[in-house]
C-alpha cells in the first residue's frame, strides 16, 4: 500500500498528465518506491516505525512532485503520517476530520514570532506514555511543506489552523541537508523538523532513524545525480543501522505510575 505522500504524488501526476513535470530533477526512469533511479534505489533500507506521535503534512501544490521532497521520507518512517494538498479556496474534509479526532492533540509547527503569543508552546508536547493506552492524546505535528513563502501563506490563510497551538522549535543544530540549501543556518528541511518534533515527544529512536534515513537519501540522491555508485558501507548506513539497533525508548525518564490506580506496574 503506497503511503500518503506517494498517493498525493500519484494524484498530482495524474492531474498534470505529464510525468516529467517533476521539478529540479533529472528526467529519467524512477523507482516508484523511492523516486530514485533504479540503479540507486534505496527501497531495501525502508524503516517503518509505529510511533505514538503522528505527522500531518500540508503540502503546497508542487511539493509532492519534487524528487528532493523529504516529506516522503517521513511517510516512509512514521507509520501514522497523513498528507494533504493545501489550497486556499478548498479544504479536504478528511483533514478537518483528522484535526477534530479526539485521539490527537494537533500542534502547528511554525516559528512562534508569527503567531499570537498565547498560542505559542515551547517544549510543551505531552510526554510519551509507554505504559499503556488511554493516558492522553497523541501528539500530531502539522508540518507546512513547501517553500518558506508557501508555508507562510498556508499558516496565515488556513482558518482551521487558527485555534491550534503553535509549536515553535528552538533548534541548535546546523542543517545537514545538502539538496536544497537556502543559505540560512536555521532553515531545516521537513524531515529534520519532523525528527526534532519526534525527539520532543520522546520518540528518540524514530528521531535518530529519520535523521540517518535523510543522510542515506541525500547520499543516494547526490550519487544518482552525479552518476556515481552508492557507497553501501558509508557513514550514513552505519548511522541508520545504529539508530535501528537502539532500544525503543532508552532515553525516556518516565516510569509507569504506581499500580494503585489500576494500571499495571
Ligand atoms: Zn526504490
**pTM value?**
0.84
d(CA 108, CA 164) in angstroms, rounded, equals 7
Q: How far is the CA of 187 from the centre of ligand 1 (A)?
A: 28
How far is the C-alpha of 24 from the C-alpha of 177, rounded, in Å?
A: 16
Ligand 1 center from residue 5 Cα (angstroms): 15
pLDDT digits (tens, 9 = 90+) for 192-242: 999 989 988 889 899 999 999 999 999 999 999 899 999 888 888 899 998
Q: What is the pLDDT of residue 27?
A: 59
pLDDT at residue 98, as a whole number: 98
Give 236 Cα–ligand 1 centroid separation in angstroms: 17
Q: Is 170 left (phi over 0), alpha (psi -120 to 50) or beta?
A: beta
Q: Record the cell numbers describing residue 171, joined without a space.
A: 533548534
What is the Å distance from ligand 1's center to 142 Cα? 27
What pLDDT, on the 0 to 100 scale, is given for residue 177?
A: 44
**pLDDT of res. 246:** 78
Distance from Cα 222 to the centre of ligand 1, integer Å:
15
> How many C-beta atoms surround the C-beta of residue 216 within 10 A?
20
End-to-end CA distance of the chain: 38
State in Å: Cα 247 to ligand 1 middle: 27
DSSP string spanning 142-199? EEEES-HHHHHHHHHT-GGGTTS-EE-----S-----SS--S-TT---HHHHHHHHHH
Half-sphere exposure of residue 104: CA atoms within 13 angstroms, side-chain side: 23
What is the pLDDT at residue 124? 60
d(CA 203, CA 252): 9
In the chain, which residues have pLDDT < 50?
A: 22-26, 128-133, 173-185, 250-265
Nearest to 58 by CA among 109, 13, 14: 109
- The DSSP output letter for 122 is S
Q: Give distance in angstroms: CA of 37 to centre of ligand 1.
A: 8
Cell of 233: 558501507
CA of 152 to the centre of ligand 1 (A): 32
**CA 39 to centroid of ligand 1, rounded, Å:** 9
Q: Ligand 1 centroid to 67 CA: how many Å? A: 12
Q: Domain segments of the chain: what residues?
A: 48-169+184-210
pLDDT of residue 25: 46
Ligand 1 center from residue 29 Cα (angstroms): 11
Rounded to the nearest angstrom, the distance between the alpha carbon of 32 and the centre of ligand 1 is 6
Query: What is the predicted pLDDT for the residue at 132?
Result: 43
Amino acid at each position: 500500500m503506497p503511503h500518503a505522500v506517494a498517493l498525493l504524488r500519484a494524484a498530482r501526476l495524474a492531474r498534470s498528465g505529464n510525468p516529467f513535470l517533476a521539478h529540479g530533477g533529472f528526467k529519467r526512469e524512477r523507482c516508484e518506491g523511492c523516486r530514485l533511479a533504479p540503479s540507486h534505489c534505496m527501497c531495501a533500507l525502508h524503516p517503518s516505525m509505529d510511533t505514538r506521535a503522528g505527522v500531518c503534512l500540508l503540502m503546497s501544490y508542487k511539493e509532492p512532485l519534487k524528487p528532493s521532497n523529504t516529506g516522503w521520507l517521513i511517510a516512509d518512517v512514521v507509520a501514522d503520517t497523513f498528507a494533504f494538498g493545501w489550497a486556499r479556496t478548498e479544504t479536504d474534509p478528511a483533514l478537518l476530520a483528522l484535526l477534530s479526532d479526539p485521539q490527537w492533540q494537533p500542534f502547528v509547527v511554525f516559528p512562534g514570532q508569527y503567531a499570537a503569543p498565547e498560542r505559542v508552546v515551547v517544549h510543551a508536547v505531552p510526554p510519551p506514555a509507554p505504559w499503556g493506552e488511554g493516558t492522553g492524546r497523541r501528539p500530531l505535528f502539522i508540518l507546512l511543506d513547501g517553500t518558506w513563502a508557501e508555508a507562510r501563506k498556508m499558516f496565515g490563510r488556513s482558518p482551521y489552523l487558527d485555534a491550534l497551538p503553535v509549536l515553535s522549535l528552538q533548534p541548535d543544530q546546523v542543517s545537514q541537508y545538502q539538496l536544497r540549501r537556502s543559505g540560512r543556518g536555521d532553515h531545516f528541511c521537513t524531515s529534520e523538523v519532523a525528527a526534532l518534533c519526534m525527539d520532543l515527544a520522546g520518540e528518540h529512536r524514530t528521531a535518530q532513524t529519520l535523521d540517518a534515513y535523510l543522510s542515506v537519501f541525500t547520499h543516494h540522491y547526490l550519487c544518482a545525480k552525479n552518476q556515481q555508485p552508492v557507497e553501501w558501507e558509508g557513514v550514513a548506513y552505519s548511522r541508520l543501522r545504529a539508530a535501528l539497533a537502539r532500544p525503543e525508548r532508552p532515553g525516556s525518564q518516565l516510569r509507569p505510575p504506581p499500580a494503585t490506580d489500576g494500571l499495571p506496574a
